[in-house]
Chain A
Amino acid sequence: MIEIKNVAKTYKSADGDFTAIRNINLTVEDGDIFGIIGLSGAGKSTLVRCINLLEVPTEGDVLIDGQSMLSLSHKELLAARKKIGMIFQGFNLLSQRTALGNVCFPMELAGVPRKDAVKRARELLQIVDLGSKENSYPSQLSGGQKQRVAIARALATDPKVLLCDEATSALDPKTTRDILALIRDINKRTGITVVVITHDMKVIEEICTKVAILDGGVVAESGSVEEVFSSPKTEAGRRLVYPDGIPFEMLPNSRVIRVVFNGGTAYQPLIASLAIDCGVKVNILGADTRSIDGKAFGTMLLGLPESESEATRALAYIAAQKDITVEEVRDYRG
């Protein structure tokens, strides 16, 4: 379990101090895949680096399995870091070592005998599906392959925690999905706790169980992915979940409602059944719906017909649907 307690980090520089993160309180349970999402500069990297003390928090503490990281001696900290794997956006492989050499590296540090290290490294390269590339140098590998080597390297010392700082941001969508699937797979298999830093909603949806939204250095909201993404409660949350804003094309005088899908087993063909069942046509003003674990989440903005009776009928019909809530948007200005 990782407990981040009231952590703040202030960078001191010639032109004044800058507080990158503050008042951070988060708990990551064992085996969770915990996402931290935020826009560039929100302080995500700073926060994740505070977990393994690459960055020393100026306030607060980080506890891993109840052990305060800040109270460790330098030696103990080096040992603790061996139990926290980390992967990066830029892969950060040793360019002068082969894939195998890179995976062996942390074991070398830990004093594992060469023969055992090589054996384990080969196993790990098999797991990340790079068995045939053990003698390739990083310059001979694609981005996705490099990240696989980095993952194998991060796992070499059997860590309990894996920190991923924008691990897929330099990869194309297909490779991103493959790498995420690999991380999820390893999480399922070994129960490793994963902290995923990203600015990409899709990454969170794809693998995370919990999410925290970081905005301007503070946690705007956090909770299960379903909860936070289906109905973001804060401005920062909405900005992330609906990055393009909600398109606006409203008819004069008509009422606007927000329909929220709360995880029905599938999307009801709502608009079609509205037209068929009660003969009312509505305007879709905007929609942002997605499926998480096969369940439907998201919201849809609908412009109701101008006729009051039709509008009331449509509203009643939608409200009667299962796993759907509906609310009227009064101050809708697009």
Chain B
Amino acid sequence: MVEALTNFFEDLGMRKIPEQLEFLLTPENIPFAIWETLYAPLLATVLAYVIGLPLGILLVTGEQNGIRPLPRPLMQVLNTVINLLRSIPFLILMVLVMPLSRLILGTSVGTMATVVPLTVAAAPYVARLVEGSLREMDRGVIEAAQAMGCSPWQIVTKVILPECKPSLITGATNAAITVLGYGAMAGAIGGGGLGAIALMRGYNRGQTLVLYVAVIILVILVQIIQSVGTALAVKTDKRIQKTNSKKEKRK
């Protein structure tokens, strides 16, 4: 079978096929690469939400006509820092953040070490995504909650977040996919995973077949994340009549 495949690909003009096939067909190589591709970005996304979600909430609630206005200078600093971090290209940010990785993890190389720059890059992005979701919300509902004697904290936890849940899930899907892309880039400075394989083997060593396989798996991973995210967002959104009428029928 290996021979047949070798002939097939070599007929297509690819070279060094046996070596590539050996790598691809070794049982643990690809699954391990997938794991490395996923865990660092997903961990970074979670951490980015730990930082970015409160920041995004503050960006909306802290406004002058928000539910809990914060001092104007504070808001300006917050906005500027977020914009600053977002304007640094990720490759450069990775290098800049290396000392921080060393400080936190004791190392600046390896897949785990990419979590730090990924988080730093994703947190401001997440803050803006969250801000966008919250701004879409109907202000009237917040007003009604205020009229009922809701405290600002209750408005955030009991009104804004539950009301924005579908939109926040959509945002989180976006964030995860973007960070996955960054993570693949991190292969350039010592991260592992499909990105590193595509870069090191596929591009640097001319292993075209490995390159294609790595990219195709990345595409599939993104498709899966997107589909799951969209399905979850639709499923939780009670404003969408279609899913609800189904539920109604079941009763």
Contacts and interface: CB of A to CB of B under 8 A. Distances in A.
Interface of A: 52, 54, 77-82, 84, 86, 88, 90, 92-98, 105-106, 108-109, 135, 137-140, 150, 157, 163
16 contacts: A54-B147, A77-B149, A81-B146, A81-B148, A92-B140, A92-B141, A95-B138, A95-B141, A95-B239, A96-B165, A96-B166, A105-B148, A108-B158, A109-B150, A109-B158, A137-B239
A88 B148 contact: no
A100 to B, nearest CB: 13
B110 to A, nearest CB: 42
Contact of B244 (A77, A78, A105, A139): A139
B143 A54 contact: yes
B162 A94 contact: yes
The residue among A86, A96, A97, A138 with the most chain B CB atoms within 10 A of its own CB is: A96
A88 B158 contact: no
Given A109-B149, A137-B244, A92 B238 contact: no
The residue among A54, A82, A95, A105 with the most chain B CB atoms within 10 A of its own CB is: A95
Interface string B231-251: 000001111110011001001
Contact of A88 (B143, B165, B244): B143
Given A82-B148, A88-B144, A92-B141, A109 B154 contact: yes
Contacts, number: 80
Interface string B130-152: 00000000101101101111110
Contacts of A140: 241, 244-245, 248
A258 to B, nearest CB: 44
B149 A139 contact: no
Contacts of B239: 95-96, 137-139
Interface string B15-30: 0000000000000000
A187 B166 CA distance: 39
A109 B238 contact: no
Contact of B149 (A80, A90, A94): A80
A84 B149 CA distance: 9
B244 A94 contact: no
Contacts of A157: 148
A94 B163 contact: yes
Given A52-B147, A79-B149, A82-B149, A95 B163 contact: yes
B159 interface: yes
Nearest to A90: B140
A52 B158 CA distance: 21
Query: Top 10 closest A-B pairs, CB basis?
Result: A81-B149, A92-B144, A86-B147, A92-B140, A82-B149, A78-B149, A137-B238, A106-B148, A90-B140, A139-B239
A54 B147 CA distance: 7
The residue among B146, B237, B238, B244 with the most chain A CB atoms within 10 A of its own CB is: B238
Contacts of B149: 77-82, 106, 109
A250 B177 CA distance: 77
Contacts of B151: 78
Given A54-B147, A78-B151, 19 more contacts: A54-B143, A88-B143, A90-B140, A92-B140, A93-B141, A95-B141, A96-B238, A97-B162, A105-B148, A109-B149, A109-B154, A137-B239, A138-B239, A139-B238, A139-B239, A139-B244, A140-B248, A150-B144, A163-B147
Contacts of B238: 95-98, 137-139
A109 B147 contact: no
Contacts of B146: 54, 81
Contacts of A138: 238-239
Contacts of B159: 94
Contacts of B166: 96
B146 to A, nearest CB: 6
Nearest to A82: B149
A98 B166 CA distance: 16
A109 B144 CA distance: 13
A150 B147 CA distance: 12
Nearest to B236: A96
A95 B166 CA distance: 11
Contacts of B154: 109
A98 B143 CA distance: 19
Nearest to A102: B144
